[in-house]
Structure 1
């Protein structure tokens, strides 16, 4: 259930049980949370948040607070400091410089490592869902796309009714200026350097977000993830890794096959098109509908039937056609059915090194 009241940790001498480790915040090192990688994943966990340097004084006792009260702070970008380099990929403060105005008011607030809404505790470096409006949504969170997503950088409070969160926003791909691209997965977020200060009561719940590194060999992503960065001030969307002999990107909602010989990852649809080229006569004789793949992903002009296809649509989602590539623990094979409805197989061959994929 969404929270009904905000609490900073501690109280009038009787802090809640979870408040025994409340500490002043003394750093903003990056961190990624999420379940461990499953088969075929390409990600690594980030750094854990550093230990606080000192204990915090108990915050004021919890009191009911209005939802999304007016936030008197504004994040203002400033010039990048010379010689500053990011310590890691999550070091948002080293990626660009900003100030929070009015500075004196912000500096006068006390820092905390945690805050509590209802019976849920939120900490620095947690990813959270944030409501779009002042209305708290009732019920269990079912569709993450109905919320904004961000990472908590800092927590400050004046009292229990005025708790503020400095948050680093993650973007849903459809929120980008050019919208969702063919390689963006359904659970994909895009990291950014967009920072805001929000009221703690606008936080709806904790989000599990994983930093997916495409250099790994597995890609079974169960939770929300990010692999790409967006500079919200310059409008630049950082590139992601290219794959396959086609040198296009990878949508994790689709299948890729790894060649054990040259270690390259190949799009399933590219392998199928190579099979059609190599075994066209055999497939025609068997009555396989290879016309299904003829114009798949081909560029065409927009007409009365809708927008123009960009040539990458075939990689935007899993393709289910008359030829299927079956992957098991110890083999890969292409399967199709002939005119007699008999299952037939074809060997797979890497388009890069020409080695058999077994």
Structure 2
């Protein structure tokens, strides 16, 4: 016999089995076994941090799984589609960045506690990209992110706050740049460790690099092309003459 926390009788399964046919009794036994097996499985999967499997198990059990459009984390209301900063742990200097793709909760049957998980699409930072492409360090901005096709589940409480991810042109138009404002213009293939759409980005200067908003540029008054100060010999970030002509136009 199974009882509620108040001690009232819920169901006497031994009597129930006697009133059922052999086929229906077997079905009920399987349902009971599955229910209690899932209780243990969800607890174990949580301890193992096996989030993907936990979501799969939870979604297959009626009453344990629910999806949401919004979630409140650290006093902020976040919605599916928002970009967020995620705690990377004590071993990392930079927080992770991702976009919320799904918000779900899974109930742990024994304790009735809710496990809140978020499916995140990840971005890569400059520090991660230059490990594979060290020569790109000069043109990648400190606030630049690279979108990936990699998604995975995380605990909702690991989210720190929301952030903004702009286009490169939107970012360049800003007068003041906050630490939680980033921009994205390129994809990053995690398997091949290369950019996915590099041909779509315009290249500048004699060094033929994409624009880096962190660096200083000067425009030639003749050809209207832009050049790095360093590449045209301008030192200390100063140019006092009224006009500038690149070496091709001089």
Place the TM-score, normalised by the shorter chain, in its bin.
0.5 to 0.7
* 2:148 matched residue in structure 1: 192
* 2:22 matched residue in structure 1: none
- Indicate the structure with greater strand content: 2
Structure 1 residue 120 and structure 2 residue 76: aligned?
yes
Q: Distance in 1 between matches of 2:152 and 2:220?
A: 44
Aligned-residue offset at 1:202: 0.9
Aligned-residue offset at 1:145: 5.1
* 1:320–1:271 distance in 2 versus 1, CA, 3 Å: same
Structure 1 residue 268 and structure 2 residue 226: aligned?
no
* 1:229 matched residue in structure 2: 187
1:175 to 116, 128, 133: 128
* 2:50 matched residue in structure 1: 72
SS at match of 2:101: strand
* Conservation of the 8 A alpha-carbon contact between 1:165 and 1:200: yes
TM-score (norm 1): 0.45
Structure 1 residue 242 and structure 2 residue 203: aligned?
yes
Q: Deviations over 1:200-240 (max 9, x none)?
A: 011111122222149x9857672222222211122222434
Pair member with larger Rg: 2
* 1:253–1:265 distance in 2 versus 1, CA, 3 Å: same
2:99 to 144, 147, 151: 151
* 1:104–1:258 distance in 2 versus 1, CA, 3 Å: farther
Q: Distance in 1 between matches of 2:195 and 2:176?
A: 22
* Conservation of the 8 A alpha-carbon contact between 1:209 and 1:225: yes
* 2:218 matched residue in structure 1: 257
* 1:46 matched residue in structure 2: none
Q: Deviations over 1:230-265 (max 9, x none)?
A: 111222224343112332333211112234664422
SS at match of 1:348: coil
SS at match of 1:174: helix
1:1-358 alignment, distance < 5 Å: 71-74=49-52, 103=56, 105-106=58-59, 109-133=65-89, 146-159=94-107, 161-176=114-129, 177-178=131-132, 181-213=137-169, 218=173, 222=177, 223-238=181-196, 239=198, 240-259=201-220, 262-272=223-233, 320=236, 324-325=238-239, 335=240, 345=241, 347-351=243-247, 354=249
Q: Distance in 2 between matches of 1:267 and 1:220?
A: 20
The structure with higher relative contact order (CA 8 Å, sep 6+) is 1
- Give the total of aligned pairs: 187
SS at match of 1:175: helix
Q: Distance in 2 between matches of 1:152 and 1:112?
A: 11
Aligned-residue offset at 1:147: 1.2
* Conservation of the 8 A alpha-carbon contact between 1:245 and 1:351: no
Q: Distance in 2 between matches of 1:218 and 1:163?
A: 38
* Conservation of the 8 A alpha-carbon contact between 2:144 and 2:184: yes
State the Cα RMSD in Å. Answer: 3.4
* 1:106–1:170 distance in 2 versus 1, CA, 3 Å: farther
* Conservation of the 8 A alpha-carbon contact between 2:167 and 2:184: yes
SS at match of 1:349: coil
Aligned-residue offset at 1:197: 0.6
